[in-house]
Copies of this chain bind each other. A is one copy, B any other.
Amino acid sequence: MTNKSAVAEKLENYLEKYQTCRAHTWVLCEPLEQDDYNLQAIAETSPVKWHLAHTTWFFETFILAKLEDNFKPFHPAFHHLFNSYYNGVGKPFIRRNRHLLSRPTVDTVYSYRENVDEKIKNLLKHNSKLSDHQREWLLFRLALGIHHEQQHQELILTDLKYNFFQNPLLPRYQTKAPKINHNITSPALRFIEFPGGKTTIGYEDKGFSFDNEKPHHEISLPPFSLSNRLVLNHEYLAFIEDKGYQKPGLWLADGWESICRSGINKPLYWFQKNHEWYEYTLYGSMPLSMESPVCHISYYEADAYARWAGYRIPTEQEWEFVAKRYSHLIDGSPHSPYHPLPQINGYEINHLFNHCWQWTLSAYLPYPKFKPFIDEVGEYNGKFMCNQMVLRGGSCLTPHDHIRPTYRNFFYPKDRWQMTGIRLAS
């Protein structure tokens, strides 16, 4: 009885972690009407129902199908319908058509979730059949599945926001909006100098991290300085009022072409009514909070703003260098608001974590000697290492487990539906 291996014990304790994560997804869906589960305005913003099923499929495919005796999937077609992009295990359903999957229904998808949860529970409870090697493997896949689901928890909110915004009724995800104190004044913009020098980039602890954060490696960083906070809405408004969107000299060539073709002249969710600025948020439409960090802007906009302001944005190495020195500022509190709010505190540096994802000057490329996760999950990150830029820091919608100095998020320069903001450097 007693001779349980350490990993076997660890595995049992992992069940709670699993269940907490799965339950949180459910909590996020509580405010939804059933009609809301299937919205998809663009290929990038998947329906909530699809997120619910896909994250479940991930556990079913990458754990249950590998370890269960006589494995039978919940439904034979789900392997096709809810595969996102894992070509190694089969051909995924057309991404932009996910909203056309009225079947399976929301109810069936919840049954699917329960079914897989039950099977995972059994697997963990009855892990005595497994070898320690299998247990190690299982522990890793569980951790990956949980982190994967947490990434989708964030996407559920960002995708829903984009999809809701297409509806002139501007639905509210949260009906009770936080009071915004419009009298707050944020700290003045200041630049903190860092000496650079030899430093280590990448994840070197023992916990879970994604393959793209590794291997850690030494680089030497020239001296630089970083702004003490994100760019605020009133500062970005000054850029607009100075006709920043009409001056080609401020823009990257591709950026200029992109804003001209799309007619972009303000952040994604900003709009004007009776000469007043408003912003659509998960709380519905709100008067623009001038002291909040600007968000939902593209890399092109971040780059143009920085040039206009006489600065640049940081590289991901610079950002990580600073973040590692200020990692104590990571907020352990379980709950963030659903929109970045003005911040008042006495910190030397603000908004590093959990406010807005911060565009960096770094293309998303593999670290030297990068090794993708092995087997089918090797498609997780590596194949996106082209045409995208690295973002750091996490937004107020990012699960707290994902806030760490080495975490690399990545989007195309034109993308704006994520909660993306601007940190300046020079």
Contact = CB atoms under 8 A, between A and B. Distances in A.
Number of copies: 4
Interface string A245-286: 000110111111000000000000000000000000000000
Nearest to A109: B35
Nearest to A34: B34
28 contacts: A33-B105, A34-B34, A38-B102, A39-B100, A41-B97, A41-B100, A80-B168, A81-B169, A85-B253, A88-B248, A97-B166, A100-B163, A100-B166, A100-B167, A102-B167, A102-B171, A103-B167, A103-B171, A104-B169, A217-B222, A218-B220, A219-B220, A252-B383, A252-B384, A254-B386, A299-B386, A361-B366, A363-B365
B105 A35 contact: yes
Interface in A361-411: 361-363, 365-366, 368-369, 379, 383-387
Contact of A88 (B49, B249, B299): B249
A387 B103 CA distance: 36
Contacts of A385: 252
Interface residues of A, number: 62
Interface string A335-369: 00000000000000000000000000111011011
Contact of A37 (B35, B77, B87, B383): B35
Interface in A150-188: 163-164, 166-169, 171
Interface of A: 33-39, 41, 49, 77, 80-81, 85, 87-88, 93, 97, 99-106, 163-164, 166-169, 171, 217-220, 222, 248-249, 251-256, 299-300, 303, 361-363, 365-366, 368-369, 379, 383-387, 413
